[in-house]
Amino acid sequence: MSPRPVKPRRCRCPYGRNAFKPTRIPMDRLEKIPLAKDELETLRLCDLLGLTQEDAGRRMRVSRGTVQRLVTRAREKVARALIERCALVMAEKERKS
């Protein structure tokens, strides 16, 4: 039996090939943590705009449970990058949940 197809996710945040890293440490010496487009979008909607996970799910056209998984994973990545001094790299692809 094949897995259920992934719904397309609506992501409206400005997105490019950016990275955030500690100052004065060359990128090639840092561990890189990828942050997917849909993970960044859930951070924008839930943490920056203050939407509920349900409202964020409506905007992204996914379930509340999917938003919860994405935002939890995104917060863990951001916290790890800050605490462990890693580079947070914006990945091109959306995460499959």
Residue 82 has pLDDT above 70, yes or no: yes
Is 5 a member of any domain?
no
CB–CB of 34/93 below 8 Å? no
* Structural domain range at position 57: 34-90
Asked if pLDDT for residue 15 goes beyond 90, the answer is: no
Domain annotation covers residue 22: no
Note the pTM of the prediction, 2 decimals: 0.82
Q: Is the pLDDT of residue 53 over 80?
A: yes
User: Is residue 68 in a domain?
Assistant: yes
Percent of the chain with pLDDT over 90: 72
Quick one: the chain helix, strand, coil %, rounded to 5? Answer: 45, 10, 45
Name the domain count of the chain: 1
Mean pLDDT of the chain, nearest integer: 88
- Range 20-46 average pLDDT: 95
What is the model's pLDDT at position 55?
A: 98
